[in-house]
Amino acid sequence: MSLESAVGPAVTKCGDSEFKWGSRTYIMGIINLSPDSFSGDGLKTADAAMAQAEEFIREGVDVIDVGGESTRPDSKPVSPEEEMDRIVPFIRRLAKITKIPISVDSYKTGVARSALDVGACMINDISSLKEEPGLAGLAAERGVPIILTSNERGRQVDDIMAAVRDNLRRLIEKTVKAGVSRENIIIDPGIGFGKTVQQNLEIMRRLEEFRALGRPLLIGTSRKSVIGAVLDLPVEQRLEGTAATVAICISRGADIVRVHDVRQMKLVCKMSDAVVRGNFKG
């Protein structure tokens, strides 16, 4: 199965941008406005977040993912009001300086709605629509892309590939029934999110199997615990491990990579695309 033929339709529109799946790997840069982020990159002020976003823009990011609540397994949930206070003013400010698509990383319908109102044009749901199924209806109402993540927290899984594949298939069907056009669905097998180290490694090793679902694949390995477990390194020393996982996932069909280190991963993507997609024209 070629990278170009696995996804249809081959284009997803997001704001003023188009993602032409199969042409290259797209880069999603992470902006965390949660002080307890697992990766240690939580930004406590809007000015610090803006400086990070501006750096991402200079480095050639394709979409900026803004979140206000940590996804660490032991993190404390925040109220929708607090989450909105963290991200909505920032998204409003960011949307005024760039046409690069802004994604809201939230599973709460009210938070996502407020973010879309001020300039976001994509929803990134890490909950498998478990928390608020109405999020799919919001994506349909606004005509925006939605990222669906397979989240295995809270359940025992033996055959991880079957479990994730079935969950993503169910999520696609549920989202389409809610009125979301198929071209606006992006899937994420959810590295971390209740999976063991061995299960995460298996997902990366067999990533191309998810392409049978016919939707573009987002992969988020950046600085995650699976890298720390394999290399026995703390979060701040996982750049090379992240680069390895990004390159391997591109070779197995990833369409978007969600990363903290845009400049370095852009080089990894460019080299990987030259080999995998044959798009070097020099």
Residues involved in catalysis = 224, 258
In the sheet with 26-32, reading across from the earlier edge strand, the strands are 185-188, 146-149, 122-125, 102-105, 63-67, 26-32, 256-259, 218-219
Q: How far apart are CA 162 and CA 175, in angstroms?
A: 20
Question: Cis peptide before 77, with omega less than 30 degrees from 0?
Answer: no
Task: Give the residues across from 188 on adjacent strands.
Answer: 149
- Write out the H or E segment, with its range, that includes residue 29: strand 26-32
* Dihedral pair phi/psi, residue 246, rounded to 5°: -60, -50
Q: How far apart are CA 153 and CA 75, in angstroms?
A: 13
Q: How far apart are CA 97 and CA 14, in angstroms?
A: 17
**Listed residue (77, 53, 81, 74) closest to 65, CA to CA:** 53
* Residues 211/249, Cβ–Cβ less than 8 Å: no
Q: How far apart are CA 123 and CA 148, in angstroms?
A: 9
SS3 track for 44-108: CCHHHHHHHHHHHHHHCCCEEEEECCCCCCCCCCCCHHHHHHHHHHHHHHHHCCCCCCEEEECCC
DSSP 213: G
Strand 146-149 vs strand 185-188: parallel, antiparallel, or unpaired? parallel
